[in-house]
Amino acid sequence: MEQLQPMTEGSVRDMMDQAGARCMSRGGRTDNYGSPREFSFEVKGMFPNRLGLHIVARQYNYRDPWEAEGRVNDLVDVTFLREGQPSPLPKGQPFFQGREEETGVDEAGLREMIASVSQLNPKLFLLQELAGDF
């Protein structure tokens, strides 16, 4: 069984930056056990095509010492943003079909989503709306 790659606020932000997104990020849960936030970090970024992603790591997974160092995040939830609002992607895309959020995404899936959204032509939305197929 292949080990999932842990993600951090910094590593996810770097992925978004490398794809050309303007990003904001913040950590949620601190080292204090009683922290009120339900997530460990979030990253929101907008690409030059004015489409974006909001990535949230909701909780840490705890690993045995020989697997990884302490608490890690290896799955995230991703929301697709169009004009700043959650939206599904046009038909023919591998993600966000009929929904605006993908849950339980690993690092490889996140990289694929980032590449897909950063390269997407926003005129596809208009074309599918005009065709009545969106």
Structure tokens at 32: 């204090």
- Looking at residue 34, its amino acid is G
* Domain segments of the chain as ranges: 9-131
**Distance of alpha carbon 81 from alpha carbon 119, whole angstroms:** 14
Q: Which residues contact 20 (CB under 8 A, 6 or more apart)?
A: 47, 48, 118
- Do residues 88 and 100 make contact, with C-beta atoms less than 8 angstroms apart? yes
What average pLDDT score do residues 36-56 get?
85
pTM of the entire structure?
A: 0.81
Reported as a single tens digit per residue, the pLDDT across 63-107 is 554 454 555 677 889 999 988 899 888 777 778 887 788 888 889
**Distance of alpha carbon 80 from alpha carbon 97, whole angstroms:** 11
The residue whose two tokens read 């799955």 is 75
Reported as a single tens digit per residue, the pLDDT across 101-126 is 888 888 999 999 999 999 988 888 88
Is the pLDDT at 48 greater than 50, yes or no? Answer: yes
